[in-house]
Structure 1
Amino acid sequence: MYAWYLNLSVMYDKQRRIESKSCFLPTDIQAGLEKYVYTADSVFNDYRFSYLRNAYGCNKDGKHWYLAVVMMELEEVHLVDSAPRANNNEFRAKTVRHMMNFLYDLFRRLYFELGTTKDLPNIRGFQVISPDGVPTQENKFDGGMWVCLWMRFLDNLARYDVGPCGDVDRMRLALDLVGGPQNAKLEKVNRHAHEHSTAWKNMILKDMAVMRGDAYF
């Protein structure tokens, strides 16, 4: 859901002529790749990719979330993990490598359709590395939040220095999804929020009036 929102944000920014370097692959694509549900052709019909500097693949193995960041200019793939474990790193790197093969097919399809003469980047040969200085989570349930924050702010980060995650970040993520201009039902959401706020305010005023012994109509 958050990857979908961020892709819409990129489209919205382009309409306002704001440059963005990011493209976000939804998490269900990675899950589908492992089950051979998705092919490059089927995904390409839904996601029209441009040649961007960075493409971000969000990955899940088991119950843990981490992030693969494809650095097109550096020819590297950064495996960014807020809870790294030595016994899982090799498995996650293999999962990321599987995604690189998929992205290569995706770009090959794109180049063929556009008839471009640019050299196709050898994404399959990019080195997978775990960057230094990545902060780690302090609990066992915030992996998804870290991934969302990295995705949200990575265009503006020199390093992966976000966190720690708190309730404010969770609320901001919810507001991003619900209150963004891309939400087709934003007007309805705002109307219900106003009605709820008004009802809550009236209830407080009524309770205060009762406590003072005032008549309340």
Structure 2
Amino acid sequence: MYAWYLNLSVMYDKQRRIESKSCFLPTHIQAGLEKYVYTADSVFNDYRFSYLRNAYGCNKDGKHWYLVVVMMELEEVHLVDSAPRANNNEFRAKIVRHMMNFLYDLFRRLYFELGTTKDLPNICGFQVISPYGVPTQENKFDGGMWVCLWMRFLDNLARYDVGPCGDVDRMRLALDLVGGPQNAKLEKVNRHAHEHSTAWKNMILKDMAVMRGDAYF
């Protein structure tokens, strides 16, 4: 879901002729390499550090989701959490450190395969911080929605206070995911929606005809 949402954001940016400089780590780098979808050259060309501004990773702690943003230009790692807890912050920061070490090793291997180590930043040495101004969720189930909102707007707003998160945001997310061009079943969804709409319209017309005493065929 997070990958879909960020891909939609990238698509909207392209429609507005804005060059997106973000990627979703699990789908675009880790999963691609493990499944041999990408070669080292293609990954390097698509996500070279001079091009990449933000890299997103969604981490899960129990049933709660929080966002990790690798800020390549600032050389910082932002741990963005809508439900921070004092007893979990240190643990989550440790998990983020493990993720950064993995990412550094991954790109070091890519650079080695390309025969160069020039301009390879020390990602695992980036400072991990919890940015100010991060809103907190008012319930136990909005963590994923906050992650989606941050991924959607961070490139344009460059801040995290994008709330409040409400039913309108949930509906917009649902419509984006269902009606977006990346939905493989979009044609089927549209067909069923049209059939349902036509049946509902015919039922209303029939009821109106019965109320007027007209014959309805």
Asked whether the two chains share a fold, i.e. TM above 0.5, the reply is: yes
Residue 29 (structure 1) shift = 9.8
* Structure-1-length-normalised TM-score: 0.81
Q: Distance in 1 between matches of 2:181 and 2:118?
A: 35
Residue 41 (structure 1) shift = 13
Taking structure 1 as reference, are residues 2 and 32 closer, same or farther at Cα in structure 2, changes over 3 Å only? Answer: same
CA contact (8 A) 1:30 1:99 kept: no
Q: Which moved more, 1:185-194 or 1:36-45?
A: 36-45
- The residue number in structure 1 matching 2:196 is 196
Long gaps (5+) in structure 1:
none
Q: Secondary structure at the match of 2:46?
A: coil
Residue 171 (structure 1) shift = 1.5
Residue 25 (structure 1) shift = 2.5
Residue 145 (structure 1) shift = 0.7
Taking structure 1 as reference, are residues 123 and 156 closer, same or farther at Cα in structure 2, changes over 3 Å only? Answer: same
Q: Distance in 2 between matches of 1:149 and 1:51?
A: 23
Taking structure 1 as reference, are residues 117 and 49 closer, same or farther at Cα in structure 2, changes over 3 Å only? Answer: closer
CA contact (8 A) 2:21 2:54 kept: yes
CA contact (8 A) 1:27 1:58 kept: no
Bigger relative contact order, structure 1 or 2 (CA pairs below 8 A, ≥6 apart)? 2
Q: Secondary structure at the match of 1:38?
A: coil
Taking structure 1 as reference, are residues 43 and 101 closer, same or farther at Cα in structure 2, changes over 3 Å only? Answer: farther
CA contact (8 A) 2:5 2:148 kept: no
Q: Which moved more, 1:12-21 or 1:187-196?
A: 12-21
Q: Which moved more, 1:157-166 or 1:125-134?
A: 157-166
Residue 12 (structure 1) shift = 8.5
Taking structure 1 as reference, are residues 41 and 94 closer, same or farther at Cα in structure 2, changes over 3 Å only? Answer: farther
Residue 195 (structure 1) shift = 1.5
Taking structure 1 as reference, are residues 118 and 177 closer, same or farther at Cα in structure 2, changes over 3 Å only? Answer: farther
Query: Number of residues paired by the alignment?
Result: 217
Percent of residue pairs bearing the same amino acid type: 98
Q: Distance in 1 between matches of 2:203 and 2:197?
A: 10
Q: Distance in 1 between matches of 2:55 and 2:143?
A: 20
CA contact (8 A) 1:70 1:77 kept: yes
Q: Which moved more, 1:110-119 or 1:128-137?
A: 110-119
Taking structure 1 as reference, are residues 111 and 42 closer, same or farther at Cα in structure 2, changes over 3 Å only? Answer: closer
Residue 40 (structure 1) shift = 11
Q: Secondary structure at the match of 2:113?
A: helix
Taking structure 1 as reference, are residues 156 and 15 closer, same or farther at Cα in structure 2, changes over 3 Å only? Answer: closer
Residue 181 (structure 1) shift = 1.9
Residue 106 (structure 1) shift = 2.1
RMSD (Å) for aligned C-alpha atoms: 4.4
Q: Which moved more, 1:58-67 or 1:36-45?
A: 36-45
Residue 2 (structure 1) shift = 2.4
Long gaps (5+) in structure 2:
none
* Structure-2-length-normalised TM-score: 0.81
